[in-house]
């Protein structure tokens, strides 16, 4: 079985991004800039934010991190976003989710300039993805497509089943597969007889947040399995939404967890930030 290594692909893509950033800086004198905002002290979010900051430095980008207390009001956060929208040194703005309960996530996302929305969560960017005319893609689904391309796995004409319908992964993933000429089925918590769909998949993308939920008897022999899930077991080890050990016996290719889709997410964020900087220069 082919192990689809996000670490390997991520390293290759970041090398290309670093070269492009260097070239962009020498041509324009501008350094692509990313601002990350975190509200509260969610430990998982803190790790992500640190990794994003480190990744920017690695490819030669400017980055700033704003860590706000959990007591921050929605108005205070929106005021900060307004400043960032107007700051020419920042090309990308990302607000780390989840936010504290008293802050409306939808309103916050709507107040990020669509041109700086490097997560591609703003309604305007979501609409552009829907019609296939976009500048940015949400980082995780974009990372999945990059993995498939790197390993020469073409979705065209294949049955692709996406398990999960979130706005962050499931829905955009289905649209990207559709754009690449796959025949797409979206399954979710209300799907009856889930296995009857997953067993028909040439490419199975799982993003439901339930450890080892997809078992080997739910997978077609020879299928490509992309596991977006990351769950911590009671023993502290990480695992995906699919049973890697059992499925790897029958799949033709599969992403491990950790080291599969995970490393790609931040890499695609860097790619989006570079795209945003280039788009600002064209104005």
| Residue-level pLDDT at 215 | 98
- Catalytically annotated residue among 22, 25, 41, 52: 52
Give dist(CA 211, CA 191) in Å, integer: 18
Give dist(CA 32, CA 118) in Å, integer: 12
Give dist(CA 179, CA 151) in Å, integer: 19
The tens digit of pLDDT for each residue in 5-64 reads 999 999 999 999 999 999 999 999 999 999 999 999 888 888 888 999 999 999 999 999
139-261 carries CATH number 3.40.50.720: yes
Averaged pLDDT, 208-216: 96
- Catalytically annotated residue among 96, 171, 212, 220: 96
Question: Cα–Cα distances in Å, from 270 out to 60, 131, 158, 253, 275?
Answer: 10, 24, 30, 26, 9
Averaged pLDDT, 93-116: 96
Is residue 96 annotated as part of the catalytic site, yes or no?
yes
| Residue-level pLDDT at 269 | 97
29-114 carries CATH number 3.40.50.10860: yes
Tell me which of 283 and 85 has the higher pLDDT: 85
In this model, does residue 106 exceed pLDDT 90?
A: yes
| Residue-level pLDDT at 196 | 98
Averaged pLDDT, 212-221: 98
Is residue 171 annotated as part of the catalytic site, yes or no?
no
Q: 3-state SS of the chain: helix, strand, coil percent to 5?
A: 45, 15, 40
Please provide the average confidence, as pLDDT, over all residues in the chain: 96
| Residue-level pLDDT at 64 | 96
DSSP β-bridge partners for residue 202: none
- Catalytically annotated residue among 117, 119, 227, 243: 119
Residue 231 contacts by C-beta under 8 Å, 6 or more apart in sequence? 209, 210, 211, 238, 239, 240, 241
Percent residues over pLDDT 90 in the chain: 94
Give the pTM.
0.95
Is the bond into 246 cis (omega within 30 degrees of 0)? no
Confidence of residue 104 (pLDDT cuts 50, 70, 90): very high
| Residue-level pLDDT at 45 | 85
Averaged pLDDT, 215-233: 96
Confidence of residue 242 (pLDDT cuts 50, 70, 90): very high
| Residue-level pLDDT at 42 | 83
Is residue 15 annotated as part of the catalytic site, yes or no?
no
Domains 29-114 and 139-261 share a fold: yes
* Residue ranges covered by each domain of the chain: 29-114, 139-261
Percent residues over pLDDT 70 in the chain: 100
| Residue-level pLDDT at 3 | 98
In this model, does residue 65 exceed pLDDT 90?
A: yes
Confidence of residue 229 (pLDDT cuts 50, 70, 90): very high
The tens digit of pLDDT for each residue in 180-208 reads 999 999 999 999 999 999 999 999 999 99
């Amino acid at each position: 079985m082919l192990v689809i290594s996000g670490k390997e692909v991520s390293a290759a893509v970041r090398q290309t991004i670093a070269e492009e950033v260097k070239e962009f800086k020498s041509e324009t004198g501008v350094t692509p800039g990313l601002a990350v905002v975190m509200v509260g002290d969610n430990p998982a979010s803190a790790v992500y934010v640190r990794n994003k900051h480190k990744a920017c430095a690695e490819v030669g980008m400017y980055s700033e991190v704003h860590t706000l207390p959990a007591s921050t009001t929605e108005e205070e956060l929106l005021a900060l976003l307004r400043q960032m929208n107007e700051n020419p040194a920042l090309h990308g703005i990302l607000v780390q989710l989840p936010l504290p309960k008293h802050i409306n996530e939808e309103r916050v996302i709507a107040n990020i300039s669509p041109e700086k929305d490097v997560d591609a969560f703003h309604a305007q960017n979501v609409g552009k993805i829907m019609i296939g005319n976009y500048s940015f893609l949400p980082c995780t689904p974009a990372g999945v497509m990059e993995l498939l391309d790197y390993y020469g796995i073409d979705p065209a004409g294949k049955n692709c089943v996406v398990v999960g319908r979130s706005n962050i992964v499931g829905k955009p993933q289905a649209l990207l597969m559709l754009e690449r000429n796959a025949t797409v089925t979206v399954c979710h918590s209300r799907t009856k007889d889930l296995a009857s769909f997953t067993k028909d998949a040439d490419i199975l993308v799982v993003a439901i947040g339930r450890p080892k939920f997809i078992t080997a008897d739910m997978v077609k022999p020879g299928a490509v399995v992309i596991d977006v899930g990351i769950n911590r077991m009671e023993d502290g080890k990480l695992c995906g939404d699919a049973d890697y050990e059992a499925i790897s016996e029958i799949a033709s290719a599969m992403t491990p967890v950790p080291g599969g889709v995970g490393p790609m997410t931040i890499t695609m964020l860097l790619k989006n930030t570079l795209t945003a900087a280039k788009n600002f220069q064209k104005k």
